[in-house]
Chains A and B, each alone.
Chain A
Amino acid sequence: MDEAGEDTPLLSRTFDDRSYRSQGSRRSVGRDRSAEVDVAAEYANVSFGLENGVSVPYLTSAASGPGGSAQTPSNNGAAATITSAVPSGYVTGNRPYTEDDLLFKLKFAHLSTGTNWYEELASVNREPDDLSIFIHVLATVREYPLSMKEKLALYRQLRHELAKTYEVQIDTRQGNQHRSKGRGDNRNKRKYPARSSFSYLSPEKMVTFELWGSNIARIAAYFGTNVASFFRFLRFLIFLNVFLGLLMFSFISLPQIISGDLRDADVRAGFFGQFSKTIFFFGAYKNTTLSSKALGITWTYSLPLAYFMTWAVVSLLALVIIIMRTDYSGDDPYASHTLVGWDYSITSKQGTKIRSKAITTTLKEMMREEQTRTRIEKYNKAKLLATRVLGTLFHLAVLAGSALLIFLVAESSLDSTTLVPDALSDFVEKYELSLLVSAMKLVIPPILSFLLKFEHYKPRTRVKVEIARIACYYVASLLGFLISTYSVARDCASKTDNSTDIKDIVEDGAPYCCWENKVGEQLLQLVLLDLVVSIGVRLGQTGGRALLAKYLDASKVSYEDFPIARLILDLVYNQCLVWLGLYFMPALSLLVAVNQVILFYFTYVLSLTCNVPPAKVFRASRSGTFYLFVLAVSLFACFLPMAFGVIELEPSASCGPFKQDIRAYDVLVDRIGQAPGFLQDTVHFVSTPGFVLPVIMTLVFIVLYYRTKSGTHEREAKDLRLHLQFERKVQMRRIIARHNESKGVSAVLVKDVL
């Protein structure tokens, strides 16, 4: 930066922390700076009085006087920068060169090339024995914008210096203890300051094993980070599912395996044959209590209680994990599309071209939006509103219609058992419900997105509305699906009542009913079918189009964009199935994880061969947050019917851990039956809707709490703004004061003028 002369009034110049700093760093330390600091300090104090009511937290160190010099600056975030922007020795008279000054200067070292940093460091005002600044710089030297040569020089000198000191100290303090180490001693000693004593000095080579890191990097190189965010989201879901699955396994399945009862003899083969009888499903779990004697105490493990509690805890945990991962901070769309717009990991020419095009399109779109925003006429607004209300109503109607359709088909499927079972109708009957749900998943969302065109949302809002609506649709159809399978449960109950007219009667005449297994089977069916259908559809659509594009005229048929939004929605759908099925099939999340691994590789290969990057930049960070938010809401929406099912429906009498209970949560209540009275009361209270409702409210509250966290960021911005403006005022005053001083006007007078 070109420095104007020392005494020129630099009023036109902008003053912020950095320009001030660079100005300071150009000068040799200590010279001539103390004077200006004096004046500045005076004004800083005056301004404190003036700026009453404006909180400028960063300046507290300035007010605290010279004592603050021992504070260790960190390099994190804007706040830290500003703390050091106002050196803590601000108020002193003849100011020494403090550690903070040095560290700040180091942080912007690229502005003062040619400095001998070791000498700078040595000239810092410190206690003769106090080497903490040396150690600190040594530990952080790689953070400073120095060239490698300068870094090496500084580092070696510092290490040399410290090695001297520390060898002396070792000898005096540790004496024999250290020497007794023997041969390895020498080497240790040489490296002592850098390696052994300050282990934090050596770079923490955290071996972060990043699963599929290279695959995701490859995707990022070709498509950019926004597509990579899809793969990261998928990977997150896989990890989540494996984690939840392992929890379920270790607290539910493992005890059962240890007990040796892998199958319940009463449970019948279901839709999946013998597989339905295994511990993959609800039915195989026993209602026994394991006990064993060890260490003189009888250890008991109640399987039903474990089943209930694990499911509840795992579900809650999933919700908490997802909500915690969601970051609701606001964003600056313009700045982030430009300043964070480029993806440095792209290496292909094609990728660059597309990225550049995408950024251009997005920026143009944003500009157009900006210009039209003000132009919408009043009656247009009314018309627009009407269309949107109509669209939303239609959307709701579609939701209700689909749920109803699923419900009706499910009902009829119960009656259709009397039909002649030839191969086809048998197949249809078996898969009826899941086929219907999958087919509707294919057909309805495109209709919804098509109709969205007429509602004239702004492009970016439109993507969000689209995702939200389709996610709503998925949840609704799945709820319809689940509730209709619940009707099987009612059916079961009636069978138990009059056990004459139903086919499912064991030879000895007792009714057999295991509706949980049936629901589990249906959900698994849906999971499998969904995998097959989505792979098939993507192969046909994307692969087919790629083939056409390759062999036909390329101008007519182009390669398909990578459909991030749609694929993410598929994942949300998949995950909803896990939320719904975990209770009926403890192993479902593990199976879905396997499913998702297949999907990962399938999508990976297919997208690298048959897709081109999306034409719009749908920013990864924001959309990633939005996806997590959709996931959290859908989990929440799935939770309610699950809670209803578990709390209100009678567990089947023929299988599962709750076969002797009227309600599943009775296991909890029974268990507490042996507990003290106050606990009993508590649990009875816990199991009432009067308690469940507040719990839900709390969850909503948690979401809202995190939502408001976005406010913190805005507050930070406000503080920073105030601070910068305030500082500029101080700077201006300082300049004027100095200018006037040189003309012989006293600073006090200037103060009055300002």
Chain B
Amino acid sequence: MGGSQSVFTEEELDDYQTLTYLSKKEILHVFKRFKSLAPGLVEANKNVKLPMSKITEMPELKVNPFRDQICKVFSSSGDGMTFEDFLDMMSVFSDGAPKNVKVEYAFRVYDFDGDDLISDSDLQNVIEKLTGANQLNEADMQQLIENIMEEADLDDDKTLSFAEFEHVISKAPDFVNSFRFRM
């Protein structure tokens, strides 16, 4: 196998480009990054499924407190990531991905129990990941969750649905800048 050019056919690249927010050059770069996580395995089979432990070696994920959630969201099989899963992830975290797509995935990242709602316990999880465990005392934590709900929970059902989450995010123009990886 010569340059990475020959890994994909022109048509495959075309399709990937249409289905992601990346250019062909970026797609090849993503592949290079994917390969660097486990050169031997990927060299042998480009469709190999890498275990999560390999994926989280990536610098962006390595330091990210939500790395397990991110892997969970983007893994199509649940126990590892193929190149296509990886490409999906990089596409969502790219500069080109629009806000609505990023919000969608952010919601899923913060939805720890996967019930499609962000509940008290999800929020507590998010805060603990952000601050590190046991940084806030119980009272502060409860107060904080209460305040967040007060702001964001519009229908007073003590959970955040996607619409409510989207509404909160829409007020933070900064979100698009912070929900991305450097290519």
Which residues of A does B touch, CB under 8 Å? 1-2, 14-19, 22, 75-78, 81-82, 85, 107-108, 110-111, 141-143, 145, 147-152, 155-156, 194, 201-203, 205, 217-218, 220-221, 224-225, 228-229, 327, 329-336, 338-349, 351-352, 356, 359-360, 363-364, 366-367, 370-371, 619-621, 624, 713, 716-717, 720-721, 724-725, 728
Contact = CB atoms under 8 A, between A and B. Distances in A.
26 contacts: A1-B114, A142-B20, A145-B105, A148-B87, A150-B76, A201-B18, A203-B96, A205-B17, A228-B177, A332-B152, A335-B168, A336-B168, A338-B144, A338-B148, A341-B130, A344-B64, A344-B179, A345-B178, A345-B181, A347-B59, A360-B135, A360-B136, A363-B140, A724-B161, A724-B163, A725-B156
Nearest to A346: B63
Contact of B172 (A111, A152, A331, A370): A331
Interface string B15-34: 11111110100000000000
Interface string B79-93: 000001101100101
Given A81-B163, A338-B123, A342-B129, 13 more contacts: A14-B157, A143-B98, A149-B76, A203-B20, A203-B96, A205-B17, A224-B178, A332-B148, A345-B177, A367-B140, A620-B174, A720-B163, A721-B155
Contact of A367 (B105, B110, B129, B136): B136
B144 A334 contact: yes
B164 to A, nearest CB: 7
B173 to A, nearest CB: 5
Contacts of B116: 1, 18-19, 22, 108, 111
B126 interface: yes
A111 B114 CA distance: 10
Main secondary structure of the interface of A (DSSP, over half): helix
A340 B63 CA distance: 17
B130 A194 contact: no
A621 B174 contact: yes
Contacts of A77: 100, 166, 170
* 3 interchain residue pairs of minimum CB distance: A148-B84, A724-B155, A147-B76
A360 B59 CA distance: 23
Nearest to B177: A225
B130 A76 contact: no
A356 B131 contact: yes
B144 to A, nearest CB: 6
A300 to B, nearest CB: 47
B167 A78 contact: yes
Interface in B3-44: 15-21, 23
A620 B161 CA distance: 26
A152 B130 contact: no
Contact of B163 (A82, A220, A344): A82
Nearest to A370: B143
A81 B116 CA distance: 15
A331 to B, nearest CB: 5
Contacts of B108: 110, 145
A406 B164 CA distance: 54
Contacts of A721: 154-155
Interface in B97-137: 98, 100-101, 104-106, 108, 110, 114-117, 123, 126-127, 129-132, 135-136
B36 to A, nearest CB: 14
B152 A335 contact: yes
A364 B15 contact: no
Contacts of B179: 344
A16 B130 CA distance: 28
B53 interface: no
Contacts of B66: 342
Contacts of A329: 171
Contacts of A229: 174
A344 B178 contact: yes
A56 to B, nearest CB: 13
Contacts of A143: 98, 100-101
A86 to B, nearest CB: 12
A619 B174 contact: yes
A308 B29 CA distance: 53
Interface of B: 15-21, 23, 59-60, 62-66, 76, 84-85, 87-88, 91, 93, 96, 98, 100-101, 104-106, 108, 110, 114-117, 123, 126-127, 129-132, 135-136, 140, 143-144, 147-148, 150-152, 154-159, 161-175, 177-182
A19 B23 CA distance: 36
Nearest to B162: A18
B151 A335 contact: yes
Given A17-B163, A147-B76, A205-B23, A217 B143 contact: no
Contacts, number: 235
Contacts of A367: 136, 140, 143-144
B177 to A, nearest CB: 5
A275 to B, nearest CB: 42
A217 B116 CA distance: 32
Contacts of B132: 356, 360
Nearest to B178: A343
A364 B168 contact: no
A78 B151 CA distance: 16
Contacts of B178: 224-225, 340, 342-345
Contacts of A349: 63
Contacts of B161: 14, 16-19, 724
Nearest to B161: A16
A83 B138 CA distance: 40
A21 to B, nearest CB: 9
B100 A76 contact: yes
Nearest to B24: A205
Nearest to B87: A148
A221 B116 CA distance: 30
A370 B22 CA distance: 44
A26 B21 CA distance: 29
Contact of A347 (B60, B168, B169): B60
Contacts of B91: 142
A194 B114 CA distance: 35
Nearest to B165: A339
B168 A339 contact: yes
Contacts of B150: 334
A359 B174 CA distance: 16
A145 B175 contact: no
B172 A336 contact: yes
B136 A363 contact: yes
B155 A16 contact: yes
B175 A338 contact: no
Contacts of B143: 367, 370-371
A14 B140 contact: no
A202 B152 CA distance: 37
B51 to A, nearest CB: 18
A18 B119 CA distance: 14
B172 A621 contact: yes
Given A334-B148, A363-B144, A18 B117 contact: yes
A229 B104 CA distance: 25
Given A217-B182, A332-B152, A340 B169 contact: yes
B140 A340 contact: no
Nearest to A340: B172
B177 A151 contact: no
Contact of B154 (A85, A340, A370, A720): A720
Nearest to A110: B108
A206 B166 CA distance: 26
A342 B130 contact: yes
Contact of A332 (B93, B100, B163, B171): B171
